[in-house]
Structure 1
Amino acid sequence: MRQAVTLYVRCVDTFNRWVGRFAMNLLFVMGGIMLYAIFSRVVLGMPVNWVMEMSQFLLAAYYLLGGAYSLQLDGHVRMDLFYSNFSPYRRAVTDAITILFILFYLGVLLYGGLSSTEYAWSYNQKNYTSWAPPMWPIKAVMTFGIFLMLLQCISSLFKDIAIARGKPLT
């Protein structure tokens, strides 16, 4: 059983590290799109109407795909008033308890994301703007990001339980 948990943790951590590093580069893509919009409007005199929405889509993909990687790096904000004074055992127990709440929240969010993505796909939902892009691609990316966050939380739960038992996963 321990080998299966270790394999799960290693696979999820590796995959989320890869996706997180990919997501970091989305900021450069977004910057390039914004520079293109400025160039197109100022130099060519031809403004483009899709830039703002595309930037919003890329930013949503950036933070949702990068969320699991941020959790893996322990980069999320936490109230450190008491936590920093806890022993490793107590930190692991505290994290394990709070992760249970996060798992519930992410489960509900994933259910809503799947439902919303399915609706956007079935009815060819479009955004109500002049560009009118289809919504299913960004909703699918967002749902995938939530799923990755859920997998990473389970990985973190396994790590915290192992630390609380005195046998950290390597």
Structure 2
Amino acid sequence: MPKLILRYIGAIDAMNRAIGRMAMYLIFVLIGVLLWSSASKVFMAPSMWTLETAQFVMVAYFVLGGPYSIQLGSNVRMDLFYGEWSPRTKAWVDAITVFFLIFYLGVLLYGGLVSTAYSLGYFGDEPFRFFLDLVGTFVTQGPSAAGEMLGFLERSPTAWRPWLWPIKTLLCLGVLLMILQASAEFFRDIGRLRGVID
């Protein structure tokens, strides 16, 4: 197996391990938000921002921890037969089924990018072109010129009305990290089949 692929596996694993280990502490943020929500309802006026903030923190916890979960093999599996198979058979099956996961994540990423572009005020049919133009303008002309490209920023329909683009951007980042981790798992399974990786 080429050293470049082994370095890729190591780099993706290290990145997703670091992000996943940081993301796991978001559970304490979630607990704090929900505790504040409960206390504010009992002792004072209820806070409008707590429910949606809890949802946003849970999304961040889930999508940023997902790649680390794939890396550890702790994601949900149908273990009826899989648990009894040899490591080589597991590697064969994983090397094939990972393409279904990558396809699903690719569709999810495309939908997330379309939704993120919409939340930034782009209502056209080419979200990739929009993001390329936005980044190009930001790099060449600065943040103010890039800000002029944005349209009406989407807000939540709740009373708090937060902008939705930050959480949608985070969702896209998490799905991209899952795609990278799934591809690293594919290369790892090929390495196991060749006897290069344990």
* Percentage of matched positions with identical amino acids: 45
Letter aligned with residue 14 of structure 1: A
Report the alpha carbon displacement of residue 78 of structure 1 after superposing the two structures with TM. Answer: 1.2
Equivalent position of 1:86 in the other structure: 85
User: Which residues of 2 match residues 3-152 of structure 1 at below 5 A?
Assistant: 3-43=3-43, 45-122=44-121, 123-152=152-181
Letter aligned with residue 62 of structure 1: Y
Equivalent position of 2:183 in the other structure: 154
Give the 3 Å change call, closer, same or farther, for CA 81–38 of structure 1 in structure 2.
closer
Whole-angstrom distance in 1 between the partners of 2:79 and 2:38: 42
| Partners of 2:37 and 2:51 within 8 A in 1 | no
Deviation per residue, 1:28-70 (Å, 9 max, x gap): 0011112222333323x22111100000111111111111000
Task: Extract unaligned runs of 5+ from structure 2.
Answer: 122-151
> Could you say what secondary structure the match of 1:66 adopts?
helix
Report the alpha carbon displacement of residue 22 of structure 1 after superposing the two structures with TM. Answer: 1.2
Deviation per residue, 1:87-145 (Å, 9 max, x gap): 22111010011101111111111111111111111230111010010000000111111
> Could you say what secondary structure the match of 2:120 adopts?
helix
Whole-angstrom distance in 2 between the partners of 1:86 and 1:55: 40
Task: Extract unaligned runs of 5+ from structure 1.
Answer: none
Report the alpha carbon displacement of residue 85 of structure 1 after superposing the two structures with TM. Answer: 2.2
Whole-angstrom distance in 2 between the partners of 1:40 and 1:15: 38
> Could you say what secondary structure the match of 1:167 adopts?
coil
Report the alpha carbon displacement of residue 151 of structure 1 after superposing the two structures with TM. Answer: 0.4
TM-score, scaled to structure 2: 0.81
Supply the RMSD in Å over aligned alpha carbons: 1.3
Letter aligned with residue 22 of structure 2: F
